[in-house]
Amino acid sequence: MRIDIITVLPELLESPFSHSIMKRARDKGLLQVEVHHLRQWAVNEYGQVDDYQYGGGAGMVMMCEPLANAIESLSKDRKYDEIIFMTPDGERFNQSIANQLSLKENIIIICGHYKGIDERIREHFVTREISIGDYVLSGGELAAAIVVDAIGRLLPGVLNDETSALMDSFQDNLLAPPVYTRPADFRGWKVPDILLSGDPKKVDDWRYEQSLQRTRERRPDLLDKHE
Ligand code: 6GU
């Protein structure tokens, strides 16, 4: 899978994909992330990519021309399945959207900045608009990093243990059960006996019960969606 990110702050996106699981995904060739500086499609020699908004009001708007040129230039080399705009007024991101996007071949992600982008880009190029939650960030870059991370770890072969993505919280609309590691007794705080029993069926049942209980207590809204 290939993800092209268009941004005015490429520096913000260097580290998130250069470590741990995202690094492994890229090293293995399972995920290609290319970060593009919008300035290379600036309208003049000053690197201008934004302008005052029509109708007045504070805040700059990202201009049509650089974004259209960026998208069209990238689209010459491959066909994109989705052109995503990161914006607080988009559809709220969740595991289901991550699953859908992980099945795509090529994606462009546009990071919004300033007041946002000219509406005509949204109308004529953008196929999907995503928010990561009900709060405002200073730009779409960190949100894009979250979306790419959530997608990347779902790609076949990225996680060591293929089943572990299936066991995640939210994958079946249940929160994950508690986990423990050695020692079995830390300061008198004991690991539940069942986990030491060596009986995989009992362990599975216990984990499922714990997941249900945890979801009931913390996220009862998820239980309606759990089949
Ligand atoms: Cl995608 N962008 C910005 N700027 N703020 C957000 C967001 C995105 N999602 C939640 N808040």
User: How much is the pLDDT for 122?
Assistant: 98
Kindly give the distance from the C-alpha atom of residue 24 to the centroid of ligand 1, in angstroms, as a whole number. Answer: 27
pLDDT of 182 over the 70 cut: yes
Residue 166 reports pLDDT greater than 80: no
The pLDDT confidence band at residue 99, using thresholds 50, 70 and 90, is very high
Return the closest-CA partner of residue 49 out of 69, 34, 30, 31: 69
Question: Do residues 38 and 8 lie in contact, with contact meaning Cβ atoms separated by under 8 Å?
Answer: yes
Find tokens 């293995």 and name the residue: 28
Q: List, in sequence order, every residue forming a beta bridge with 186; answer none if it has no partner.
A: 189
Confidence category of residue 162, pLDDT binned at 50, 70, 90: low
CATH number listed for the domain at residues 2-152: 3.40.1280.10
Amino acid at 88: P
pLDDT band at 163 (very low <50, low <70, confident <90, very high): low
Task: Give the pLDDT band (50/70/90) at residue 172.
Answer: confident
- For a mutational test of ligand 1's pocket, the pick from 131, 134, 147, i.e. the residue with the most ligand atoms closer than 8 A to its C-beta, is 131
Give residue-wise pLDDT tens across range 105-134.
999 999 998 789 999 999 999 999 999 999
Q: Ligand 1: residues within 6 Å at CB?
A: 86-88, 112, 131-133, 135-137, 139-140, 143
Please determine whether the domains at 2-152 and 167-226 fall in the same fold group of CATH.
no
DSSP, res 23: H
Domain 167-226: which CATH class?
mainly alpha
Task: Quote the ligand 1 centre to 213 CA distance (angstroms).
Answer: 32
Mean pLDDT of the chain: 95
* pTM (predicted TM-score): 0.94
Q: Tell how far the Cα of 86 is from the centroid of ligand 1, in angstroms.
A: 6
Q: What ranges do the domains of the chain cover? A: 2-152, 167-226
Please give the backbone phi and psi of residue 20, each rounded to the nearest 5 degrees, phi first: 55, -130
